[in-house]
Amino acid sequence: MANILSILIGLVALLLGIVPFLPFMAWGYWFVTPITLVGAAVGALSRHRSGRNLNLLLAIIFAIRLALGGGFI
């Protein structure tokens, strides 16, 4: 059950991560990245790894995009 919830959180984060992909909107990743970390924490409670891996992959992608946009040094 925790894995399904983690995957759903990851899909919501993925949908919310589409908007900050536009130019000059990368600051939105500051709001989306914590959602992926919550999803990874929920996924860590499950026996299956797919939900946790999805959320960690999204967190890495969003953090790289945030770094490329100058969101943090």
With beta carbons less than 8 A apart as the criterion, state whether 21 and 66 touch. Answer: no
List alpha helices for 1-73, DSSP H: 2-16, 29-44, 50-68
* pLDDT at res. 28: 87
* pLDDT at res. 3: 94
CB-based contacts of 48: which residues, under 8 Å, 6+ apart? 3
Length of the chain: 73
* pLDDT at res. 55: 97
* pLDDT at res. 73: 54
In angstroms, the Cα distances linking 1 to 30, 38, 53 are 28, 15, 16
* pLDDT at res. 34: 94
Reported as a single tens digit per residue, the pLDDT across 18-73 is 988 887 788 888 999 999 999 999 999 999 999 999 999 999 999 998 888 777 65
Domains of the chain, residue spans: 2-68
* pLDDT at res. 31: 93
